[in-house]
Amino acid sequence: MSTHIGAKPEDIADTVLLPGDPLRAKWAAETFLKDAVCINEVRGMLGFTGTWNGHRVTIQGSGMGMPSLSIYANELIRDYDAKTLIRIGSCGAMQTHVGVRDVVIAMTASSVGNPSRAMLREIHYAPHADYGLLRAAHDAAVARGTKTHVGGIYSSDTFYDERPDLHEQMVRHGILAVEMEAAELYTLAARHGRRALAVLTVSDHLVTGEDLPAIERERSFGDMVEIALQAAFA
């Protein structure tokens, strides 16, 4: 076990899906994995391991924001030797051609700063996805007929952002959507030589104000999980 994950080393699969919400981890495990077993309950951040099409998969909650994600990703890599880490979660659209319910596959993840900033110092490092995972995810989305966008996203440090000027610049520079974790995940994966990707469902729109009704979220999130699983084992 590690500081924040109570699993035994053999309990964690090489492939880990990382939803922010621990209850979403429970839902995804019960919905998509066979013989899923709860392997972590420390601090209520639930984790489960089971199989998908014969492949072992762990789905571990990572919390909200880059500092929380950094804790779980670091421990999964350093203490459990996870090889592939895929964030599955929601995002807010920032372009008019990106709609609610669409899936966004993050090629790059910009940020004002992340927990790795102190290490990189003056370098403006550009965190990016693993190309093999990204290509496989796009292929899976096309095969499913899911409306999907591939490009840059913005990982924000704050949920209640009071910087409209920053928002405007993200839109101006073609950022597809905003979320709060991917930039740190991509940076950690690069540092440790692992594969990482973020597959996101658009749950609301920062430009139009549209919001995905709660009753429809489960169906849309299901597409995202399936795409992530297919990409991991393509």
Domains and CATH numbers, the chain: 9-232 (3.40.50.1580)
Query: Is 204 in the active site?
Result: yes
- Alpha-helical regions (H) of the chain: 22-32, 66-78, 117-120, 131-144, 164-172, 182-192, 214-232
Residues in binding site for a purine D-ribonucleoside = 4, 179-181, 203-204
Judged against a pLDDT cut of 70, whether residue 215 lies above it is answered with no
Section 52-78 average pLDDT = 97
- When the pLDDT of each residue in the chain is averaged and rounded to a whole number, the result is 94
Please tell me which residue in 14, 21, 204, 223 is annotated as part of the active site. Answer: 204
Q: How far does CA 29 lie from the centroid of its chain?
A: 15
Rounded to 5°, the CA angle 205-95-127 comes to 100
Q: How far apart are alpha carbons 11 and 29 in whole angstroms? A: 14
Map residue 110 onto helix, strand or coil. strand
pLDDT per position as a tens digit, 15-52: 999 999 999 999 999 999 999 999 999 999 999 999 99
Q: Which residue has the higher pLDDT, 212 or 150?
A: 150
Residues in binding site for phosphate = 20, 24, 43, 87-90
Please, what is the angle between helix 182-192 and helix 66-78, to 10°? 30
What torsion do the CA atoms of 47, 11, 189, 185 make, to the nearest 10 degrees?
A: 10
